[in-house]
Amino acid sequence: MGRRREDGAGHRPNGTPSPQPRRRPTIQDLARAAATSPSTASRALSGNGYVAADVRARVLEAAERIGYVPDINARTLRNRRSRAVGVLISDLRNPFYANLAAVIEQQLRSAGYHVIVVNNDGEQHAEVEGARTFLAVRVSAAIITPVSDRAVHMLMDDGVPVVQADRMVDGLTTDGVLVDNVQGARRITDHLIGLGHTRIALLIDETGWTTGAGRLAGYRAALRDAGLPMDPDLVVPTRFQPDTAREAVTALLDRRPDVTALFAANNRLAEGAFQALQEGGHRMPDDISLVAFDDVPWMSMVSPGITTVDQHTDDLGRACAQLVVDRIAGGAAGHMTVRYIEPSIVLRGSTAPPRTSPATPVHPDPGPAAAAPSA
Amino acid sequence: MGRRREDGAGHRPNGTPSPQPRRRPTIQDLARAAATSPSTASRALSGNGYVAADVRARVLEAAERIGYVPDINARTLRNRRSRAVGVLISDLRNPFYANLAAVIEQQLRSAGYHVIVVNNDGEQHAEVEGARTFLAVRVSAAIITPVSDRAVHMLMDDGVPVVQADRMVDGLTTDGVLVDNVQGARRITDHLIGLGHTRIALLIDETGWTTGAGRLAGYRAALRDAGLPMDPDLVVPTRFQPDTAREAVTALLDRRPDVTALFAANNRLAEGAFQALQEGGHRMPDDISLVAFDDVPWMSMVSPGITTVDQHTDDLGRACAQLVVDRIAGGAAGHMTVRYIEPSIVLRGSTAPPRTSPATPVHPDPGPAAAAPSA
DNA sequence: CTGTTAGCGCCTTCAC
DNA sequence: GTGAAGGCGCTAACAG
């Protein structure tokens, strides 16, 4: 068990084997091993330019033999373009984003790109920092679920193609893939209306992005088209955190016991809403119906299952990857494209006709049970 | 609305504004803008070496003004080390891995690293490809939930420090962070035994990794220590997919209606088990108790909630990031460290004493209800 | 078809 | 305290 040679083979304890790490074979070494020149070796590997068949074979064999791995940094420096794509995502802990990231990574990997992932945690600061990183590594494109337009613009200004995913903060100047939020929200609200619900509350955390704005618009459109009154008191603002949502729902049902259906605008809010209903002893769907935007695994595990809008996250991710690949290949050619994913409704057990008669007077009486303050 | 100048400011349509993208300012440009030399500018930015205070200020100001972003590729090429860390994870769609990735990314980002994420989807091929990518970009370390030892060894052989996460395929030569699977499995099995269960089935998909092996060992140890018989028929092998697990559980309960408790070795298997129990009309915890290894969100949403082993994924991820940072800082110094995360038990509603008397005859009668075929 | 040359942007000696 | 010079590894001209 003597000392290992510095350039020896075999597994050394965790990396950094010696004061100075073993020099990795360069294309020079490869050329030497294949008895040719670096440029020929380069051509043989990349497929650009002419190389005699036997020489190419020799180079490939030698590369395999000496374990040559091209240095992407050198290549990027030289070519001024990389095979890296930056992915700036809000929160990997949220299954929606995790899925999105997974699909994007998978697609881009199979297209020969690798992915640099930055979580922005919903914070502009982190987002901008992420964009800087992307610029610094010369990514050839970026996919962003934007928090603000800062990052998007930073990248565009330096000529980096951007795809905005799930929402757009700047609809004019980049490609994007969006879910048809208006349609999804409208259809799931229609579903409730069709069951006979007339007092449907919307639990929503933001209306400043295309997502929240669209969902609110769809909800309103459905009510309007059905000739139902639009009661502002039933649009319940909340923070993004499930806990806050839970409290908001509890307060709502306290204040407005006449509500027969609840629409949570995303999966996190649905979590809070579901908990609030369970804790409050409101039975779904008997006492109240619950629907959500964005289908995530727990919604099909609970009883009753949650009726929800499936955003087809896989399609969303695939479309993002595709746009990125096209844009890289096509350069600036062509106008910006914004793709819409058509969501679908998944019916589960959390929705049913309201217990009381669906026929409601035009000026509904809140019911004798609660003395709702008129605030 | 004339043509835009090639080097003009303002937002251009999605990147690649012109045939030849605008040249980004280099350190030369920065030096010029700050009326100094590139080397001084470099020193001013990096903090290495002497720079007069006023000159440094000038450089920083100029950098801000002209929007200078150092080229990481050039820097890495020159330094032969990057601020990139490779993260090779099994499946971002699984909340366990998603969480792990999220924590790791967050920690490393705040330590000044960026993260290249590769999903291996449980396949060796993808894993090896990922390792090649990491080598190619000269990551300064990698965190891997390993599928095989190939990737681990490839990286080590080239001097890249590796941290194995969640499981180890090579326990001797790299750092690692593991969950104490034996202890976790033992304790949750103990919990069942304490409730009076004697016929406890284990649903498990692999025993070749440290995870499965440890969980099996813990389960066995608990039975042994309690003096309970170890019935091989109750160790139910399955594939990883929830569907397969579901079928396996259905088959098990068909074959062995005397089973009063089920232990699913991970969150995916628990999903299948939970579904199988619901579909089969087995009520938890009255008819059967269910426990799982790995706490994920749906387990606290369903009713009854699932009693489970919390792996403290956040601690796991933080420890990985910490080891990586230490290893990069410390070079090869010091021996390999393997940290263990001590899991804890989360009691929920899915466990209760078995319905029939806990006192069981030594040669248990399967019960008259089912005519279980003796296959 | 092949080899030589030059330079991508940066950092770090080294001389001043 | 500062600047000039060279080279990290690669590939796209260009000349043979």
Alpha helices in chain A (DSSP H): 27-33, 38-46, 53-66, 72-79, 95-110, 124-136, 150-157, 181-195, 210-225, 242-255, 267-279, 298-301, 313-330
A77/D16 CA-to-C1' distance in Å: 28
Query: Band of the pLDDT at A20, cuts 50, 70, 90?
Result: very low
What is the phi/psi pair of residue B180, to 5°? Answer: -75, 85
Confidence (pLDDT) at A361: 43
Q: Between the CA atoms of B318, B320, B323 and B326, what dihedral angle is there, to the nearest 10 degrees?
A: -60
Does residue B37 approach strand C to less than 7 Å at its CB?
no
Does residue A55 approach strand C to less than 7 Å at its CB?
yes
Nearest to A94 by CA among A283, A296, A265, A339: A296
Across the beta sheet with A200-204, the strand order is A235-237, A200-204, A261-264, A289-293, A307-310, A344-346
Q: CB of A217 within 8 A of CB of A279?
A: no
Distances (CA, A) of A266 to A119, A168, A208, A282, B53: 19, 17, 14, 20, 52
Distances (CA, A) of A349 to A267, A288, B298: 17, 11, 17
- B238 in helix, strand or coil? coil
- A182 in helix, strand or coil? helix
d(C-alpha A88, C-alpha A101), whole Å:
9
Residue A328 tokens read as: 């890289």
Confidence (pLDDT) at A217: 98
Residue B29 tokens read as: 């440009």
Partnered with residue A106 across adjacent β-strands are none
Encoded amino acid at B29, one letter: D
Pick the CATH number of B181-313 from 3.40.50.970, 3.50.50.60, 3.40.50.2300, 3.40.50.300: 3.40.50.2300
B170/C9 CA-to-C1' distance in Å: 39
Would the CB atoms of B82 and A92 count as touching at under 8 Å?
A: no
DSSP B165: E
Domain A27-70 belongs to what topology?
434 Repressor (Amino-terminal Domain) (1.10.260)
Confidence (pLDDT) at A134: 97
Mean pLDDT of chain A: 89
Alpha helices in A139-230 (DSSP H): 150-157, 181-195, 210-225
d(C-alpha A88, C-alpha A81), whole Å:
19
A136-176: per-residue pLDDT in tens? Answer: 999 999 999 999 999 999 999 999 999 999 999 976 789 99
Residue A60 tokens read as: 């490939």
- Provide the number of CB pairs (under 8 Å) joining chain A to chain B: 236
A196-246: per-residue pLDDT in tens? Answer: 999 999 999 999 999 999 999 999 999 999 999 999 999 999 999 999 999
Would the CB atoms of B159 and A21 count as touching at under 8 Å?
A: yes
Confidence (pLDDT) at B21: 53
Domain ranges of chain A: 27-70, 81-174+314-340, 181-313
Q: CB of A292 within 8 A of CB of A306?
A: yes
Distances (CA, A) of A330 to A45, A110, A257, A325: 24, 19, 57, 8
Nearest CB neighbour to A11, from listed B10, B80, B156: B156
Best of B14, B97, B313 to mutate (most A CBs within 10 Å, chain A): B14
d(C-alpha B196, C-alpha B355), whole Å:
10
Residue B20 tokens read as: 């030849």
Distance from the first to the final alpha carbon of chain A? 83
Q: Which nucleotides of C are covered by protein (CB under 7 A)?
A: 1-5, 7-13
Q: Between the CA atoms of A136, A142, A147 and A148, what dihedral angle is there, to the nearest 10 degrees?
A: 70
Distances (CA, A) of B92 to A106, A321, B75, B118, B322: 10, 16, 31, 9, 21
Q: Which residue has the tokens 């896989």?
A: A314
To the nearest whole Å, the CA of A208 is away from the closest chain B CA by 22
Q: CB of B193 within 8 A of CB of B228?
A: yes
Confidence (pLDDT) at A9: 35
User: Which residue approaches C13 most closely, CA to C1'?
Assistant: B39
Measured between beta carbons, the chain B residues lying within 8 angstroms of A13 are 173-174, 332, 335-336
Chain A, residues 124-153, CB within 8 A of chain B, namely 126, 129, 132-133, 135-138, 141, 153
What is the phi/psi pair of residue B326, to 5°? Answer: -60, -45
Q: CB of A144 within 8 A of CB of A323?
A: no
User: Which residue approaches C7 most closely, CA to C1'?
Assistant: A78
Q: Which residue has the tokens 């209760």?
A: B352
pLDDT by 10s per residue, chain B, length 375: 322 223 333 444 454 443 345 689 999 999 999 999 999 999 999 988 899 999 999 999 999 999 999 999 999 999 998 999 999 999 999 999 999 999 999 999 999 999 999 999 999 999 999 999 999 999 999 999 999 999 999 999 999 999 999 999 976 789 999 999 999 999 999 999 999 999 999 999 999 999 999 999 999 999 999 999 999 999 999 999 999 999 999 999 999 999 999 999 999 999 999 999 999 999 999 999 999 999 999 999 999 999 999 999 999 999 999 999 999 998 766 789 999 999 999 999 999 999 865 444 444 443 333 333 333
- A318 in helix, strand or coil? helix
* Chain-centre distance for alpha carbon A43: 39
Partnered with residue B341 across adjacent β-strands are B179
Domain A81-174+314-340 belongs to what topology?
Rossmann fold (3.40.50)
To the nearest whole Å, the CA of A119 is away from the closest chain B CA by 7
DSSP A120: -
Residue A356 scores a pLDDT above 70: no
DSSP string, A237-283: E--SSHHHHHHHHHHHHHH-TT--EEEESSHHHHHHHHHHHHHTTPP
What is the phi/psi pair of residue B368, to 5°? Answer: -80, -15
Minimum-distance nucleotide, CA of B42 to C1': C11
H and E: helices and strands count for chain B:
13, 12
Measured between beta carbons, the chain B residues lying within 8 angstroms of A18 are 332
Q: CB of B35 within 8 A of CB of B59?
A: no
Measured between beta carbons, the chain B residues lying within 8 angstroms of A177 are none
What is the phi/psi pair of residue B29, to 5°? Answer: -60, -40
Is residue A26 within 8 angstroms of chain B, CB to CB? no
Listed as own residue / partner, the contacts of A363-366 with beta carbons closer than 8 Å and 24 or more positions apart are A364/A198, A364/A199, A364/A258, A366/A256, A366/A257, A366/A258
Q: Is the fold of B81-174+314-340 the same as that of B181-313?
A: yes
